[in-house]
Amino acid sequence: MKKFHYSNIKEYNDALGISPPGHPLFDISHISSDEISQELSCHSDAIISNDFYTISIKNIKAGAIHYGRTQYDYSNGTMIFTAPRQELRTMGVKIKSSARCIVFHEDYVLGHSIKQRLDQYHFFNYSVNEALHLAPNEAKHISAIFDAIENEHLNANDDFTKELILSQLDTILRYADRFYHRQFEQRKRHHQPTVQQFEQWIDKLVQSNPDTLSVETIAYRMRMSKRYLSDVLKVETGFTAKECLHLRLINLSKERLLSTDQAVASIAYALGFQYPQYFARLFKKKVGMTPTQFRQQHRPITPE
């Protein structure tokens, strides 16, 4: 599979066969059906990365798009986001009618409040499990903002141009954040709760290979990134992935403390803790007493 990396927007546009950017650090393109074959001939079955942010709306009818380890669950009106130096892998992609894309370099947003928020928008920062899906009215609204940005970029060039573009770009990102959180709620309603799957993997790893037990390992097994998994669990439980892991391990340790004669250190090692002292501190923080005190207080007294 071929690899393509673009260090600037002009290289990227040249590869797609579209006009050079009007600004070296920012561009917006609207690729029609006549131009799509050119895009696919360059990027189908390829690994693509670049040194700038991209925000795309694509109507995909076939093929696969992978971001990091996971495959996009795409549909009509799909928004796709990439951050600098992240890889996007395409395989046999076919687009229905058109694609729109905003690209901007990190330097374009320096000194603007949007720069700090970019780091907080999680859909830019990990191998997402899903693209952002838009309802028809939402896709129409986002397209209208794209139109406004495109009009400003192509037809105006004064002291207000950049600020107006950034303001409307910020609006797109805020809407995207809404769609992103809505999808977590939909997942929560229509799928097996992620926390159940997460706890099942904890139990499996405790039984088979506790030395590998970590949020990173479980996220990999669940085909999510660590950050995405933590976001989903936060919506479902109010706790981060690390907190959910600790709570599950504390519950498992309680069972062992009361049902076996294993030493506290042995239980800690069996649950994947490298240092029994850390386990003891964590247990006391969560339970309010040491593992030994918990065992003494709650273990049933066996008649002699």
- The domain that contains 228 carries what CATH number? 1.10.10.60
Q: Please tell me whether residues 283 and 150 are part of one structural domain.
A: no
Query: Is 304 a member of any domain?
Result: no
Query: Is 142 a member of any domain?
Result: yes
Q: Please tell me whether residues 160 and 178 are part of one structural domain.
A: yes
Does the pTM surpass 0.75? The reply is no
Q: Please tell me whether residues 238 and 114 are part of one structural domain.
A: no
Q: Please tell me whether residues 88 and 214 are part of one structural domain.
A: no
Q: Please tell me whether residues 292 and 157 are part of one structural domain.
A: no
What is the structure's pLDDT at 19? 86
Query: Is 303 a member of any domain?
Result: no
Token code pair at residue 243: 């907190």
* pLDDT average, residue stretch 174-179: 87
Which of 132-136, 190-194, 269-273, 280-284 has the lowest average pLDDT? 190-194
What is the structure's pLDDT at 259? 87
Q: Is the model's pLDDT at 71 over the cut of 50?
A: no
Q: Please tell me whether residues 221 and 253 are part of one structural domain.
A: yes
Higher pLDDT, 78 or 35: 78
What is the structure's pLDDT at 301? 56
| CATH code of the domain in which 55 resides | 2.60.120
* pLDDT category of residue 130 using cuts at 50, 70 and 90: low
Question: What's the CA gap between 159 and 161, in Å, rounded?
Answer: 6
Angle at 102 between CA 97 and CA 104, to 5 degrees: 155
Query: Is 289 a member of any domain?
Result: yes
Q: What is the pLDDT of residues 9-30, one digit of tens each?
A: 999 888 878 888 889 999 998 7
Q: Which residue range forms the structural domain that includes residue 155?
A: 2-190
Q: Is the model's pLDDT at 212 over the cut of 80?
A: yes
Asked if 176 contacts 81 with a C-beta cutoff of 8 angstroms, the reply is yes
Higher pLDDT, 299 or 79: 79
Using the 3D structure, point to which of 190, 223, 255 is the last residue of a domain.
190
* pLDDT category of residue 56 using cuts at 50, 70 and 90: confident
Q: What is the pLDDT of residues 113-122, one digit of tens each?
A: 888 888 777 6
* pLDDT category of residue 302 using cuts at 50, 70 and 90: low
Q: Please tell me whether residues 46 and 182 are part of one structural domain.
A: yes
What is the structure's pLDDT at 64? 43
Percent of the chain with pLDDT over 70: 77
Q: Please tell me whether residues 179 and 240 are part of one structural domain.
A: no
Number of domain units in the chain: 2
Q: Please tell me whether residues 232 and 264 are part of one structural domain.
A: yes
Q: Is the model's pLDDT at 277 over the cut of 80?
A: yes
What is the structure's pLDDT at 217? 94
CA dihedral 44, 129, 54, 117 (to 10 degrees): -170
Task: List strand residue ranges (DSSP E) for 39-137, in order.
Answer: 46-50, 52-67, 70-71, 78-82, 88-105, 132-133
Summarize the chain as % helix, strand, coil (round to 5).
Answer: 55, 20, 25
- HSE-CB at 43 with a 13 A cutoff on CA atoms is 27
Query: Is 262 a member of any domain?
Result: yes
Q: Please tell me whether residues 123 and 232 are part of one structural domain.
A: no
Q: Please tell me whether residues 168 and 198 are part of one structural domain.
A: no
Q: Please tell me whether residues 128 and 58 are part of one structural domain.
A: yes
* pLDDT category of residue 89 using cuts at 50, 70 and 90: low
* pLDDT category of residue 187 using cuts at 50, 70 and 90: low
* pLDDT average, residue stretch 147-166: 90
Q: Is the model's pLDDT at 189 over the cut of 90?
A: no
Higher pLDDT, 71 or 186: 186
What is the structure's pLDDT at 158? 84
Query: Is 72 a member of any domain?
Result: yes
